[in-house]
Amino acid sequence: MGGRKTKLISAEEETPKAKSPEKLSKAKSQPKADAPLEHASGGKAPEKKAKRPVGPRIKKVRGKKYQEAKKRVEPRAYAAEEAIKLVKETSTTEFDAAVDVHINLGLEKDKPEHQLRSFLALPHGTGKTVKVLVFAEGEPAKKAQEAGADLIGDEALIESIAQGKLPDIDAVVATPAFMPRLAPIARFLGPKGLMPTPKTGTVVEDPALMVKEFKQGRIEIRTEAAAPIVHLSIGRVSSPDAELLANLKAVVAELNRLKPAKISGVYLQSLFLAPTMGPSIKVDLATLS
């Protein structure tokens, strides 16, 4: 019979050739093209994030009124009386702006004894009407009302504040006997800086004295936590020059009283006056002594 002959396959042809040990180890050590590379620490190499393009910083541009006012201020220290007049002339607001003081002190912020804090009743006030709430009963409450307290607190007012209805006030004074009753409203008064405390002198047996101080113009003199700088207001643009000068001298005198025993270098380094909106004016400290 004719036909195709059957092809005989040897055992060597049937079994695929095994790779040599050298080739096998080389193949294992060679990473695959699409496999992620391993990091030196053992994990996968972190993917590089594309850097975001950094745009140019936007420079703050002052208004025309400010630019015109700035031209009137020379780069020098002015006598206190001259600086006060110039502050009024360079105020760019239509409302009665505040006259602010910025004082740089030669103190070290890391030393607790260099953290200054004091309260001062300015001779002529700040020009701002201060509304005072007093929590007291009996004779202390009567004296406080006679001294000019705007509101005398009671249980009904405490309940109202606990519901979130805080009256329009700027300061709160309380007698020690009344303090335990204020616990339910501490979370409303505290964040606004209104909670009476012995440190601020707002917990007193005779609240009438504190009412008079607040009405007169009681301010807080305190250095910032980040830097030995004091910021405060000494009056309004409409205040008479003599009154602003007297208030400014009172602030400087109080700072000198608070001067720590041991400091290195100059204590009062610089003082600037500025309206709420307007350029700052450097003051010659020698004219305030």
Q: Each residue's pLDDT tens digit in the chain (289 positions)?
A: 455 555 554 444 444 444 555 554 544 455 554 444 444 445 555 565 566 665 566 666 677 888 888 888 889 999 999 999 999 998 888 888 999 999 999 988 888 888 888 899 899 988 888 899 999 999 999 999 999 999 999 999 999 999 989 999 999 999 999 999 999 999 999 998 899 999 888 999 999 999 999 998 888 888 988 889 999 999 999 999 999 999 999 999 999 999 988 888 899 999 999 998 889 999 999 999 7
- Residue 1's pLDDT is 45
What's the rounded Cα separation, in Å, for the pair 285 and 249?
A: 10
The pair of three-digit structure tokens given for residue 107, joined into one six-digit string: 């103190």
Count of H-run helices and E-run strands, the chain: 9, 9
Phi, psi angles (nearest 5°) of residue 105: -115, 145
How far apart CA 215 and CA 140 sit, in angstroms, is 17
| pLDDT at residue 233, rounded to an integer | 92
Neighbours of 99 (CB within 10 A): 25
Nearest 10 degrees: Cα torsion 140, 145, 150, 151: 50
Torsion of CA 90, 246, 269, 112, to 10 degrees: -120
The HSE-up count of residue 154 (CA atoms within 13 Å, CB side) is 5
Predicted TM-score (pTM) of the model is: 0.69
- Say which amino acid occupies 190: G
Tokens 């980040």 appear where?
Answer: 226
DSSP state of 85: H
Rounded (to 5) percent helix, strand, coil in the chain: 35, 20, 50
Identify each DSSP E strand in the chain by its residue range: 98-105, 117-121, 132-135, 151-153, 171-174, 218-222, 229-236, 268-275, 281-282
Question: Minimal CA–CA distance to 100: which of 117, 87, 89?
Answer: 87
Q: Give pLDDT, residue 62.
A: 72
Q: How are strands ordered across the β-sheet holding 229-236?
A: 229-236, 98-105, 268-275, 281-282
What pLDDT does residue 24 have?
47
State residue 238's pLDDT score. 92
Q: Say which residue the tokens 């003599």 belong to.
A: 242
